[in-house]
Amino acid sequence: MFKRMILGLILALTPSVAIAQTQENYLPAKSQLYFRFDGMKKHKADYDKTAVGKMMQGETGKFLDELWKWAYEQIQNVAQKQPKVGPLLRDFTKLLGTMYQNGVVVGVGADKVIPPSVQAVLVFPQGAGESGTLIPLIQRIAEETKADVKNTKVGNRFINTTSIEFLQVGWWAQGADAILFLGTTDPVAYAKDIDAKKTGLAKHPLYKKVAAFKEFKTVSRGFFDVTGVLNVAADIAPPAGKIIDDLGLKGLKSVTFAQGFDGLSERSVVDVDMPGPRKGLLSLTSPRKISLQDLPALPNDVSGFSASSIKLNKSYDVLVTAVDNVVRIFDANKADDIKGAIKDFEGAIGLDIEKDLFDHFGDMIVTYSSPSDGILGTGSVVAVQAKDGKKIVTAIEKLIKAIPVNPGGKVFLKKVDYHGAEIIQLRLVGQANAHLASFGVYKNWFVYSKYPAAIKGFILRQKGSLPAWKADAELTKALAKFPAEFNSIQVSDPRPMIQTIVAILPVGLDIVNTLGGMGAQFGVVPGFRPFDLELIPNAQEVTRHLFPNVTVGTDNGKRIRSESRGSLLLPF
């Protein structure tokens, strides 16, 4: 059961769907947010063929099942002292299992903010049958909290309603499905709208788009109607619409997504539609196409990296202009004060931040991490293409020198020549002696990392003195399914992280067994049963079916698409 819970969480964090026939009819017709998880019962055969599906069929699946049963048993033992908690916990656990098997459908729509008119509807397919637990769970909670619940007959069903301050809550059986309504309007009126066929997404253009998605078999899909949300936000007050426009957000129309299975891989696609001219924050997107050949030499043990094109040299002007426009809407004098303060500061230190610093950045940024550069992410490196790295360093020096002395000491820069490059350490010297950060400049790259050792590695790899990463056959095969040129790429390998977690499980669970046994003796954890450590699989056995995840982003001027293929699409 635990593995099902984990996978249900995975699917919730990284969307993926198959559209059902009727549940969308119960959602608000003008939903700005729509999400469907179709349930794994319909997709078990396809799931079993994936890398993570194969992983769960072996010792790993058995271990996770037993771990869940054991953890649930211990929680129930503790809950014995609270008789009312145990039944609630059982119903909630059963609900999660039902959602994993049969899915969930969500729609959220907001008509206006003042006065608020918001409707959120959650549909639980097959949730009102004998195996359904949503309605009994909510009614049990209502009884325990002594909520004032009303029952109103609408058609051939009863609508249960209560309120919590301004929030209206309703729940009822809609055929074999269970519906939970949360909003500022009357749930009874909404149920009548369902009968009158005034609800449903059938005519929603974004729903039509996601329903027509055929690139691969989907398990979940959905959309976010950005224009609809911004239109509602603009109604709050006239300045809101002006702020949205000045930030350039009006150019962002919608986000649609889908995730599913394709052989060994999980796949996902996210489309961000921006058809109009891009201004404000959206103007930072860069049309430049990059490839793996544009990357600097990476560590041969790199655990993950990302690269993207972005107009970093324009970011300062865009951000300052955005702040100025927003402040000016409310107080033009204050906006002038901010601009004046920036000019005075620049004049005092002899630096034009935009021209002397940001103008010297290029339009590609690369991040990566590797065990040899530092453990637990301490060796993460950010490398930015630079038109003139030395001028960037000079500008940073002026900014650092302008930092006043504080009780902890003075910020101090230490510069060291290293193999023809320059490494700068930023330290706090005084009562508190601390290393703050490190920077490096090598040819056309400006490099940042917490400690200088990682920057030394970067420099030596560019010189060819250290072994560099190359795409192996597995990754090359995966990349062949993507465009050769793109605007961004991210490659991550889930195996090192999972192997580390599995490797420490014996120690962690052994400690839990020891403490739990002591707790049982004192009655704190009655009936505690130690977990059998023999059930923990070998870390390499757990990950033997897995392979790197790849996400590629492309921008055709009207739409930014992010497409992922991988064995376990989690945010490592």
Q: What is the pLDDT of residues 54-99, one digit of tens each?
A: 999 989 999 999 999 998 888 887 777 677 777 777 778 888 888 8
Average pLDDT value for residue range 239-258 = 84
Does the structure show a pLDDT above 80 at 6?
no
pLDDT band at 491 (very low <50, low <70, confident <90, very high): very high
- pLDDT for the residue 63: 96
Average pLDDT value for residue range 208-228 = 94
Collect all residues with Cβ–Cβ distance below 8 Å to 341 and sequence separation of at least 6: none
Contacts 24+ apart (CB under 8 A), 505-511: 505/536, 506/533, 506/536, 509/533, 509/536
For 371-385, how does the pLDDT look when each residue is reduced to its tens digit (9 = 90+)? 899 887 788 999 999
Does the structure show a pLDDT above 90 at 434?
no
Beta-strand runs (E) in 253-302:
254-262, 265-273
- pLDDT for the residue 168: 94
For 399-428, how does the pLDDT look when each residue is reduced to its tens digit (9 = 90+)? 888 877 766 678 888 889 999 898 999 888
For 159-203, how does the pLDDT look when each residue is reduced to its tens digit (9 = 90+)? 999 998 889 999 999 988 999 999 999 999 999 999 999 999 999
Q: Would you list the DSSP string of 237-258?
A: -HHHHHHHHHTTGGG--EEEEE
- pLDDT for the residue 10: 37
Measuring CA to CA, which residue among 466, 456, 463 is closest to residue 373? Answer: 456
Does the structure show a pLDDT above 50 at 17?
no
The overall average pLDDT reported for the chain is 87
Q: d(Cα 468, Cα 461) in Å, to the nearest integer?
A: 6
Q: Which residue has the higher pLDDT, 336 or 206?
A: 206
Q: Which range among 342-356, 445-459, 556-570 has the greatest average pLDDT?
A: 445-459
Angle (CA) 565-571-572 rounded to 5° is: 100
Q: Point out the least confidently predicted range of 34-38, 143-147, 277-281, 484-488.
A: 143-147
Q: Which residue has the higher pLDDT, 276 or 537?
A: 537
Measuring CA to CA, which residue among 157, 164, 171, 77 is closest to residue 124? Answer: 171
Compute φ and ψ for 182, nearest 5 degrees: -130, 130
Measuring CA to CA, which residue among 226, 364, 361 is closest to residue 287? Answer: 364
Does the structure show a pLDDT above 60 at 2?
no
pLDDT band at 131 (very low <50, low <70, confident <90, very high): low
- pLDDT for the residue 272: 95
Peptide bond before 115: cis, by omega within 30 degrees of 0? yes
Cα dihedral across residues 207, 208, 212, 215: positive or negative? negative
CB 249 within 8 A of CB 255: no
Percentage above 90 pLDDT, the chain: 53
- pLDDT for the residue 74: 84
- pLDDT for the residue 380: 93
**How does strand 167-174 pair with strand 177-183?**
antiparallel
Compute φ and ψ for 3, nearest 5 degrees: -65, -30
Does the structure show a pLDDT above 90 at 220?
yes
- pLDDT for the residue 177: 92
Does the structure show a pLDDT above 50 at 5?
no
